[in-house]
Structure 1
Amino acid sequence: MQEISIDDMSKEEIAVYLMKSFETTQYNQDAKNYFNKMLLRLVN
């Protein structure tokens, strides 16, 4: 994985990156949905 400069990322890019990271982890679907809603709330 390449080094990412957080300072250069927009809020939307950070949210997408976190969602993608979260998708690959072992959480149940309810937790994923809740997490995604929180991220969307941050950027909207």
Structure 2
Amino acid sequence: EDKDVIKYGIQTRRYIALDTIAVEKLLSGKSLENVLQDLALRLK
């Protein structure tokens, strides 16, 4: 899953692996897909 986060960050030129909100959500048990969708909305 971490690789997917980093890959997504590279594709969007944003290293969302370092995004603390995303990390907190992943740690709280949200799926990676959920977190990426949420990030996509926030990054618009």
| Structure with more of its chain in helix, by fraction | 2
TM-score (norm 1): 0.39
